Structure 1
Amino acid sequence: MGATNIEAGRADAPVATADEPRAIYAKITWRLIPVLFLCYVMAYLDRINVGFAQLQMKADLGFSDAIYGLGAGIFFVGYFLFEVPSNILLERIGARRTITRIMVVWGLISAAMASVHQPWLFYLLRFLLGIFEAGFFPGIILYLTYWYPGAYRARIIAIFSSAFAVAGLLGGPLSGWVMTDMAGVWGLRGWQWMFIIEGLPTCLVGLFVFTYLDDKPDHARWLSQEEKDLVRRNLAIENADASDGHGLGDYLAAIRDPKIYALSLSWFCFICGIYMISFWLPTLVKEMGIANPLHVGLLTAIPYGVSVVGMILIGIHSDRRLERRWHCAVPAFVGSLSLIGLVYAQGNVVMSFVLLSIGSLGIITTVPQFWAIPTSYVKGSAAAGGIAFINSLGLVGGFVSPFTLGWIKTSTGSLVLGNWLVAGILAVGGVVILAAVRPGMLRETCMRA
């Protein structure tokens, strides 16, 4: 397929520009990644704070676990429907306008979650949140391909993706504190204040993005012409065999490739694990006998803190070895085994937290390792739609996982069966990656990082 190319994942992959100064990419990283990191922290915090809100709002509003699970998951229905159009729009109008639009609107909707009083409004706002946040994550992944060659992507995506672990690291204590200490202020409940306090600042960050980001290297006044030429040359080498055709035609060619669907299946499996952690971690901690929302929030920070450090170190190792398959599959298997171990560690709080931390590290690490593969596979004008298409299909797991786990929790009173189910799904994801991305198939044509 003309629009695609796959990196090698081999230590002996060709190095096209090894003598070029790496300081330029450090300069780009310091300029872009802190702001994009902050944006993703805000995005993920607004997406998962419903997991903390449910510790109070279910009782306040009379919602069952099944209602909560459906509301948490319906976010991804809106996300699925509008993600590909959003990414194609980003390719046409630029990252600044797209990210600003997304962040301002989703911040307002997230704050509006404080007005929820009936299941239908809960479902509606979560659906709208999905619609207007659609395209953010794949849009940023696409945006990074405008700046970085493939040999840098695992570590850069790992640093960026660690934002959702940091959102859990910071969001747990913040949400717990707000829900505990702000309850009753101005007649609002703690969970209502949480949505307001964590939603409105997102709008301000979105407006800042519009004044700060540059759509592409050629627009960056903070890069010299020589630096722009180097970035353009490295990307041209990597994209040398990508199609020069029109976006729609290349996108249609990309989605006819069976490997796109294999990658989507693997991403679906990883997403099921990621959103078990994201939406149900507070519940898992509460089931260990921790009742106070502040204490729950503080304890949920432990698995996320371990994940932040681990995923960045694994991303660096993956880039140095130019290996993706096993760096993606092994964490998935570790996450699977840890979820099974949790079933047998019930009643042992210390062992449960050790397993939760290891499992979270494994599950969360699949994110940057996975995306280092399709960003080197789908190239040229197919990248915008192709990356969003993979993410859209995979994010069906974002609906299936919370909804199924909510139904299991309501039916059985615990998440034990859910642990077994998600553990099996994660293992399938790891196997699919190993089967779909064979040694020697992937080729990296850019400099060794």
Structure 2
Amino acid sequence: MSTQINAAAPLDDADAQADLRKAYRSSEWRILPLLFGLWLLAWVDRANVAFAKLQMLPDLGFTETAYGFGAGLFFLGYVVLGVPSAMVQRRVGARLTISVIALGWGATSVAMMFVKSTTMFYALRFLLGAFEAGFYPGVILYLNQWYPTQRRTRNFSIFHSAAICSTVAVGLTGGFVLDHMSGLLGVAGWRWMFLVQAVPTMVLAWVAFATLPDGPATARWLSERQRGLILVDLARDARQSAAPVGKPASLLANPMTWVLGAIYFGILSANSALSFFVPTILHEGGFGGYSAIGGVIAAICLLGAIGNIAFSTAASRFRDSRLACAIASVISVSCILVLPAVWHGDRPATFVTLALALAGTGAGISLFWQIPMRYMDKQSASLGVPLISSVANVAGFVTPWLIGYVRDLSGTYSSGFITAAGVQGLAAAILVAGIPLVLRYHAGEAPRSRHA
């Protein structure tokens, strides 16, 4: 029996709906845990430098500026390889691409334990970003092949929560390693931390290669009928969700590509400020030793992940995610502005503010990635998504470097955090007002003068 089902097939039929729900559920249980695990480990391997920093900087004599520059270099590698990695995935499929990417960043993370100079630190951070570059946009496109808008929004928020939960893994394992493995076999604790946290990545990469299908058509657990129902449901969802984009334009000439890149840049500015400095904030806030800080990070991030999923699930009922993404961004902006005022003197307020900030940035990112699919066809999205991701991830380079540089100059992180919050606030404004304006111009309907 062919996997193709007539596009007019009655999906509203009770039996068809039951089969479709079963197909989606079985796919979610097989796909989401694997992608969640890989994304969690990707963030462990990119962000554990924030925890290692507590021992690594005094051990190696690095300045805050050098740390911020090296932490940010990850994102330059990400920018350079984002689009080429997506092109490779289109040619060889998701299974091979994702597993090779994971093996590469796992091996690079192991190499981080041998860092002795800023040059080596910079090179490995760049290489780590280059390996990871194709994973995130690849997963966005991959989930678009599997799920319609509402289900995809919820599933993507679950997947993205791994980024928040990764800090739980970094905090709990990092605190234990720094406290109990420092000096083992004459090796510093921060070096052991990079090794211990990289090995699971390489194991899960082999699991992905063995089990992950390239799409519904190669999923062995689906029947022919279920594959066909998924295809019909996705086609119907694409028709219902499409937004008018006016005159066609190439990807680079389309202003929507750059507007979306600017919005995501703003969201990632705030996210990078939190990701690379939370352990330092807690350390300066008097939350205790390494293990105690790790436990607090775990609690904050679990609450942030729950808030992300709850907000994103509630927002998935609406076809257009713009307003919900803007609201989540405003929550994040408010918390980041409050943070410098409380983290030196009010531990409960610092805890709550960080949890809300992580929930806001997490939901903002989850909801943002439902927006490009409304303004790009499948062909454009296959390169548009990694292009937007690559351009915006420049924020991941600029923000840590800026915050570290400001700290060395002024002795405080406040100005850097306030700047990151302001950039995300601008992104929220563009979401609400900028996208409709661009659509009007792109459709050849320039705004009329109020005196016309």
> In structure 2, what is the Cα distance between the partners aligned to 1:118 and 1:151?
48
Map 1:344-423; keep pairs closer than 5 Å.
Answer: 344-345=341-342, 346-423=344-421
1:11 matched to which residue of 2?
none
* Deviating more after overlay: 99-108 vs 356-365: 356-365
Report whether the alignment pairs 1:292 with 2:289. yes
Change (3 A) 1:121 1:291: farther
- Per-residue deviation at 1:150? 1.8
Residue 100 of structure 1 corresponds to 99
Residue identity matched to 2:77: G
My pick for the range that moved more, 91-100 or 169-178, is 169-178
Greater Cα offset, 140-149 or 318-327: 318-327
Determine the structure 1 residue equivalent to 2:46: 47
SS at match of 1:297: helix
SS of the equivalent of 2:431 reads: helix
For residue 7 of structure 1, what is the aligned residue in structure 2? none
Please provide the CA RMSD for this pair. 2.1
- How far apart, CA to CA, are the structure 1 residues paired with 2:434 and 2:217? 36
Alignment check: 8 A CA contact 1:303 1:361 kept? no
Cα-to-partner distance string for 1:223-260 (whole Å, 9 max, x where unaligned): 001100011112233446999xxxxxxx9822321111
Name the structure 2 match of 1:153: 152
Distance in 2 between residues matched to 1:252 and 1:94, nearest whole Å: 27
Q: Any conservation in 1 of the 2:304–2:357 contact (CA below 8 Å)?
A: no
1:228 aligns with 2:254: no
Would the aligned equivalents of 2:241 and 2:374 in 1 still touch at CA under 8 Å? Answer: no
One-letter amino acid matched to 1:296? I
Give, in whole Å, the separation in 2 of the partners of 1:163 and 1:411. 34
Q: Return the letter of the residue paired with 1:215.
A: D
Query: Residue 91 of structure 1 corresponds to which residue in structure 2?
Result: 90
Contact 1:272/1:401 (CA < 8 Å) preserved in 2?
yes
1:276 to 273, 277, 284: 273
Give 1:219's aligned residue. Answer: 218
The verdict on how the C-alpha distance between 1:85 and 1:18 changes in structure 2, with shifts beyond 3 A counting, is: farther
Instruction: Name the CA distance, whole Å, in 1 between partners of 2:196 and 2:205.
Output: 16
Partner of 1:13 in structure 2? none
CA distance in 2, matches of 1:291, 1:113: 26
Q: Which residue of 1 aligns with 2:254?
A: 257
Aligned with 1:316 (options 292, 313, 316): 313
Q: Structure 1 CA distance, aligned partners of 2:124 and 2:32?
A: 30
Separation in 1, partners of 2:252, 2:225 = 37
1:124-180 Cα offsets, whole Å, 9 max, x none, are 010111111111111111111111112222111100000111111222111111111
Determine the C-alpha separation between the residues in 1 that align with 2:322 and 2:43: 26
- Give, in whole Å, the separation in 1 of the partners of 2:431 and 2:48: 31
**d(CA) in 2 for partners of 1:17 and 1:299?**
47
| Contact 2:324–2:367 (Cα < 8 Å) also in 1 | yes
Higher RCO, 1 or 2 (CA under 8 Å, sep at least 6)?
A: 1
Query: Map of 1:45-194 to 2, 5 A cutoff?
Result: 45-194=44-193
How far apart in 2 are the matches of 1:150 and 1:100? 26
Task: Determine helix, strand or coil for the equivalent of 1:254.
Answer: coil
| Alpha carbons 1:263, 1:436 under 8 Å: kept | no
Aligned AA for 1:97? Answer: L
Q: CA deviation at 1:263?
A: 0.8
Cα deviations across residues 212-232 of structure 1 (Å, max 9, x unaligned)?
000011111110011000111
Query: Deviation per CA, 1:308-337, whole angstroms, max 9, x where unpaired?
Result: 111111121111233411210111111111
* 1:385-444 Cα distance to aligned partner (Å, 9 max, x none): 1100010111010101111111011111121112211111111111111123449x79xx
The runs of 5 or more residues in structure 1 that have no matched partner are 1-15, 244-250, 443-449
Q: Distance in 1 between matches of 2:254 and 2:420?
A: 27
Letter in 2 for 1:309: I
2: CA distance between counterparts of 1:329 and 1:239?
23
Contact 1:303 1:353 in 2 (8 A): yes
- The CA distance in 1 between the partners of 2:249 and 2:32, in whole Å, is 31
Separation in structure 1 between the aligned mates of residue 79 and residue 388 of structure 2, nearest angstrom: 10
* Alignment match, 1:9: none
| Equivalent of residue 326 in structure 1, options 314, 323, 328 | 323
Distance 2:410 2:12 in 1: 57
Judge which range, 115-124 or 296-305, deviates more: 296-305
Distance 2:157 2:214 in 1: 21
| 2:434 alignment counterpart | 436
* Structure-1 residue corresponding to 2:448: none
Question: What SS class does the counterpart of residue 195 from structure 1 fall into?
Answer: helix
Q: Secondary structure of 2:412's match? A: coil
Residues 18-27 or 188-197, more deviating: 18-27
Mapped to 2, the partners of 1:242 and 1:159 lie a distance apart of: 21
Cα distance in structure 2, aligned partners of 1:329 and 1:36: 26
In 2, Cα distance between the equivalents of 1:126 and 1:353?
29
Assess if the C-alpha contact under 8 Å between 2:75 and 2:394 holds in 1.
yes
3-state SS of the aligned residue for 2:363? Answer: helix
Identity %: 34
CA contact (8 A) 1:69 1:406 kept: yes
| Larger Rg over CA atoms | 2
